[in-house]
Structure 1
Amino acid sequence: MPIRLKPTFADRLASADRPLVGVWAASASPLVAEIMAGSGADLVLVDGEHTPVGVDGLVPMLQAIEAYDATAIVRVPWNDAVVIKQMLDAGAQSLVVPMVSTQEEAVAAVQAMRYPPRGIRGIGSALARASRWTAVPDYVARAHELVALTVQVETAEGVANAAAIAAVEGVDAIFVGLADLAGSLGFPSADEVRAAVVSVIEAGLAAGTPVGVNAFAPADADHYLAAGASFVVVAADVTLLASSARAAVGRLLPTDDASGAY
């Protein structure tokens, strides 16, 4: 029986009547990914860049998210055609490619997402979960419609090239990474980082390309939404768990003495 895949992140953005809200799934746990998907968030970003999540661990996390309305987005570790192919074949429809700083790097990511003649993605869909083992009708011919690419701008060079990146056909959205951007800018003031982010949002608006921001601080999320961000990612499973555990335990523990010894 033919299988219909869920809408991609690009589809979700196109149909949204408000900014979308996302959360990270960074624990590499399908169970925790399911909890995050059930939070009411529009998006669950599975992080394969800074976590133990690899191709083997990705599939059960995608399966856990699948039952919920949330859209799964997978961040690959690098702008590498082989890794992108593997993540797509594992069934990830929507990818985030980190550290895209030039138009050429954005074009390379688009090429890696698409089968020939539109790109360079290797054709092995009959063996892959992506096509549900050929149960998705005409997968190879339609694959470019069934995947979505978000590129991550997180360097000073990327900010300077934001307009050119946003104009690349096949880039469905831009995601601004605050931590790496702050480092690339030399850790300036918070206002300077905010100004850089807003400049990327404005470049995206001018090009008609949605821009989102990783913004765990509520004031930051509000600021970027007011500037025109199309989505914000507001929390991560591991940070929520760590902070909640510390708070619960710390309430009942004695404080350090003046010497700093416990």
Structure 2
Amino acid sequence: MSAAEIDGFADRIRKHQGGMISAWVGIPDAMLVNHLAQEAFDAVVLDMQHGMWDMPAAANAVAQVRLAGKPAIARIPVGDFASASRLLDAGASGIIAPMINSAEDARALVRTTKYPPLGERSWGPSLALNHTGLSADAYLKTANELTVAIAMIETRAALDAIDGILGVVGIDGIFIGPSDLSIALSNGDQVAPNAAEIDSAMKHAVSCCRAHGKFACAFAGDGERAGELLKFGFDFVIAGAETAQLRSGARRAINAARRVASGN
């Protein structure tokens, strides 16, 4: 995939061109990211909220993802909007911001991810220029369209404010965090990301996105759940975290070896 095709990610997701499946990585190792990027994922998300990434490691991982011909997305820590612009400078194709609970939170995200007139992103995209091959002038004119700002919806307040959040110019889409949403909707009683109440909230979120002409993303714990969410109409889903995939693969190998060795 060429740089132009990688940087067409934003256009594809905005136009709802087929359900996308992404890897999700919290272990701060660019080589691990490179391996996952060789698989048939449509993108790789670096989780800087609950993962252990720092900025230099994340910038290296963005480069590895792009080298493999895929777009890299980063989830920033809560409220760390300064990191959002730095990750875009490093060549990330999009930013996922957690705990966006109001239109004002959404506007704060836009201010640091979009250049004027939409936002106030500061200039300094040296690595992004290297990755895209664009001149400074061309990048400035197109960056707001080449990159996406994604607001996470994961609280009762966010659900109540979803139309206001989606109505903020510069917010390109939303990302549902079903585990936190289930905690919020159960008043702290349970983590149940696949509960019927969450399904209902997710379907409502997709409908709101369609009404506003925006895209919908969500986290799924595994591939089967990811497929269900694509059927709901989500444009971009996670098919489980790398830690779960790593341990699941290890268990399968161990169990297979024990089974063959025992003659069963």
Q: Name the TM-score, length of structure 2 as normaliser.
A: 0.84
DSSP-derived class of the 2:45 partner: strand
Could you tell me which amino acid in structure 2 is paired with residue 201 of structure 1?
V
Q: Say if 1:12 and 1:115 are closer, same or farther in 2 by CA, change over 3 A.
A: same
CA contact (8 A) 1:42 1:69 kept: no
1:141-167 alpha-carbon deviations (Å, 9 max, x no partner): 443233211111111111111122122
Out of 54-63 and 129-138, give the one that drifted further: 129-138
CA contact (8 A) 1:8 1:71 kept: no
Q: What pairs with 1:20-35 in structure 2 (closer than 5 Å)?
A: 20-35=20-35
CA contact (8 A) 2:16 2:235 kept: no
Q: Whose radius of gyration is greater, 1 or 2?
A: 1
Between the aligned partners of 1:232 and 1:85, the Cα distance in structure 2 is 23
Out of 87-96 and 152-161, give the one that drifted further: 87-96
Between the aligned partners of 2:242 and 2:146, the Cα distance in structure 1 is 27
Between the aligned partners of 2:75 and 2:252, the Cα distance in structure 1 is 30
Q: What residue number does 1:210 align with?
A: 215
CA contact (8 A) 1:159 1:199 kept: no
Q: Name the TM-score, length of structure 1 as normaliser.
A: 0.84
1:193 counterpart = 2:198: yes
1:248 counterpart = 2:253: yes
CA contact (8 A) 1:101 1:161 kept: yes
DSSP-derived class of the 1:109 partner: helix
1:136 counterpart = 2:143: no
Aligned-pair CA distance for 1:63 = 1.4
Q: What pairs with 1:8-27 in structure 2 (closer than 5 Å)?
A: 9-14=9-14, 17-27=17-27
Between the aligned partners of 1:202 and 1:113, the Cα distance in structure 2 is 25
Between the aligned partners of 2:131 and 2:204, the Cα distance in structure 1 is 43
Q: What residue number does 2:261 align with?
A: none
Give the structure with the larger helix fraction. Answer: 2
CA contact (8 A) 1:74 1:95 kept: yes
Alignment match of 1:238 (pick from 231, 239, 243) = 243
Could you tell me which amino acid in structure 2 is paired with residue 136 of structure 1?
L
Could you tell me which amino acid in structure 1 is paired with residue 35 of structure 2?
I
Between the aligned partners of 2:44 and 2:223, the Cα distance in structure 1 is 18
Q: What residue number does 1:257 align with?
A: none
* Number of residue pairs matched by the alignment: 249
Between the aligned partners of 2:106 and 2:66, the Cα distance in structure 1 is 28
CA contact (8 A) 2:174 2:217 kept: yes
Q: What residue number does 1:51 align with?
A: 51
Q: What pairs with 1:220-239 in structure 2 (closer than 5 Å)?
A: 220-239=225-244
The CA RMSD measured in Å over matched residues stands at 2.5
Could you tell me which amino acid in structure 2 is paired with residue 109 of structure 1?
L
1:165 counterpart = 2:165: yes
DSSP-derived class of the 2:46 partner: strand
1:82 counterpart = 2:82: yes
Q: What residue number does 1:156 align with?
A: 156
Aligned-pair CA distance for 1:243 = 2.4
Q: Report sequence identity in percent.
A: 27
Unaligned runs of 5+ in 1: 254-262
1:66 counterpart = 2:69: no
1:145 counterpart = 2:145: yes
Aligned-pair CA distance for 1:175 = 0.8
Out of 80-89 and 135-144, give the one that drifted further: 135-144
1:157-205 alpha-carbon deviations (Å, 9 max, x no partner): 1111112212221111111011111111123861112111211111111
Unaligned runs of 5+ in 2: 259-264
CA contact (8 A) 2:10 2:146 kept: no
Could you tell me which amino acid in structure 2 is paired with residue 223 of structure 1?
E
Between the aligned partners of 1:228 and 1:5, the Cα distance in structure 2 is 24
DSSP-derived class of the 1:132 partner: helix
Q: Say if 1:234 and 1:116 are closer, same or farther in 2 by CA, change over 3 A.
A: same
Q: Say if 1:8 and 1:45 are closer, same or farther in 2 by CA, change over 3 A.
A: farther
CA contact (8 A) 2:11 2:146 kept: no
